[in-house]
Amino acid sequence: MKISIIGRGVFGSFLAAEFAPHAEITDDADIVIIAVPVSAVEDVAKQHAGKHLVNVCSVQRVPNEACERHSARVTGIHPMFGPQSPVTNRSCVATLACAESEAVFDLFRKIGSEIITHHNGKPITGRDHDEMMRKTHLPVLMFGELAALIVEQAKDVPDNCLPTSFKRLKALAEQMKDMSAGTVESIRSNL
């Protein structure tokens, strides 16, 4: 399988490393994984019109619609993990599929992901996904930013003097490094 990954920030680079054992990553592939901020999806989709476009944004409805304006072959899938996440219990929420999506789903399965396509017995749409993320992703982002500020204030306290609760807060602040500037932009666009 040949894939192209557009966007080599935190998440695009992470996906490239994860997929390298399972796919040939090349600029001339027919499957184009779009790992860019939501504001750049339209331009990338236009540049790769007609190819199998794979939206991996933290929001799905608007980027899926942008991809569909430029190709009939679109997969919308939000990986619910990143480079700081545990390798176990990975999942992806699939919001849009075409006849070729199964190959993309299989690629994500090869890196340990469960593909979630339904909730309450019905397919998850981009709108459904974004509403779930509005309730979960956005508050975690806001809390994570606050946690980072709190942790920064205590940077001079030795680790062996930190209470367990603070160590957990520190771990959350570290986990937030999964959220690159592009991911933060995408999450904030979902207000």
Higher per-residue confidence, 162 vs 172: 162
CA proximity to 82, closest of 187, 3, 167, 155: 187
What value does the CA radius of gyration of the chain take, rounded to a whole number of Å? Answer: 17
Q: How would you classify the pairing of strands 118-119 and 52-55?
A: unpaired
pLDDT at residue 85 in the model: 86
Q: CB–CB of 131/101 below 8 Å?
A: no
Q: How many CB atoms lie within 10 A of CB 20?
A: 10
pTM value is 0.86
What is the tens place of the pLDDT at every residue in 92-128?
Answer: 999 999 999 999 999 999 999 999 999 999 999 999 9
Specify the DSSP element, H or E, that contains 44.
helix 41-47
Q: Which amino acid is at 135?
A: K
Evaluate if residue 191 carries a pLDDT over 80: no
What are the structure tokens assigned to 49, written together? 């019109």
| pLDDT tier, 189 (very low <50, low <70, confident <90, very high otherwise) | confident
pLDDT at residue 139 in the model: 87
What are the structure tokens assigned to 19, written together? 């997929």
What is the tens place of the pLDDT at every residue in 8-27?
Answer: 998 999 999 999 999 999 99
In this predicted structure, which of 62-71, 92-101, 106-115, 181-190 has the lowest mean pLDDT?
181-190
pLDDT at residue 27 in the model: 94
Q: Distance between CA atoms of 191 and 32, rounded to whole angstroms?
A: 27
Q: Select, from the ranges 2-6, 78-82, 142-146, the one with the highest average predicted confidence (pLDDT).
A: 2-6
Q: Which amino acid is at 94?
A: A
Question: Is the C-alpha dihedral spanning 113, 58, 39, 41 positive or negative?
Answer: positive
Q: Distance between CA atoms of 161 and 170, rounded to whole angstroms?
A: 13
Residue 182: partners with Cβ closer than 8 Å, 6 or more residues away: 7, 9, 10, 11, 35, 36, 37, 40
CA proximity to 10, closest of 169, 155, 175: 175
CA proximity to 112, closest of 90, 132, 133: 90
Q: What is the CATH number of domain 1-191?
A: 3.40.50.720
